[in-house]
Amino acid sequence: MADSMASQATTGGTAPGVTKRDFLSLTTAAFAAVGVGAIVWPFIGSLAPSKDVLALASTEVDLSPIALGQSVTVMWRGKPIFVRHRTAEEIQVARATPLSELKDPATDQSRIKRDPWLVVVGVCTHLGCVPLGQKSTDAKGDYNGWFCPCHGSHYDTSARIRKGPAPTNLLVPDYTFTSDRAIRIG
């Protein structure tokens, strides 16, 4: 369009009522607008999160294949997340534990969103090892939850610290149930 307008200007084909001076002003403004657009677009583009980042921001987990008593590990923002389909006995034992016995007191109910699922960040709160207890053959510690072999921290079936140097319970990540059998972490 600028070319055709330029061509009109050089051939004297300016529209009636528009002086050559008006035309030059309009052309300059148009080029300025195009120039600003060309600079702003890549800048805005660089501010938008990439598809990789968006994908890592949240993780969907289908709970359907996780059998009763089984745990799975999913990765979310570079961290392992433990999802355990707890048995009625595991839940009952966790709820029967007096808060006075806990190093980092928290009820089991405060650590879950919906029975029978427990969802926690699988990173030991001592120095960051990944505790054992996800596989059926793993050591699960003295409280049948998770055991961190790095320095001997034992977590119960609510992933609360019960013994060893870890100062606090395994963290509960931000997550929501998107249906009866699916959660979104993050």
Q: Which of 91/159 has CB closer to ligand FES?
A: 159
Name residues whose C-beta falls within 8 Å of residue 7's C-beta, 6 or more positions apart in sequence: 13
Least distance in angstroms from the C-beta of 40 to ligand FES = 48
How far is CA 46 from each of CA 36, 37, 42, rounded to the nearest angstrom? Answer: 16, 14, 6
Q: Which amino acid is at 150?
A: C
Burial label for 106, CB within 10 Å (0-12, 13-18, 19+), is middle
Q: Which of 157/164 has CB closer to ligand FES?
A: 164
Choose among 156, 152, 73: nearest CA to 107: 156
Q: Please tell me what DSSP assigns to residue 10.
A: H
Contact letters for ligand FES, residues 32-71 (x by CB under 6 A): ----------------------------------------
Residue list 95-124, contact with ligand FES (CB under 6 A):
124
Choose among 54, 86, 60: nearest CA to 183: 60
Residue list 131-170, contact with ligand FES (CB under 6 A):
148, 150-153, 164-166
Q: Which of 94/161 has CB closer to ligand FES?
A: 161
The answer to whether residue 85 is catalytic is: no
Q: Which of 85, 126, 151, 154 is catalytic?
A: 151
Binding site for ligand FES (CB under 6 A): 124, 126-129, 148, 150-153, 164-166
Catalytic residues: 151
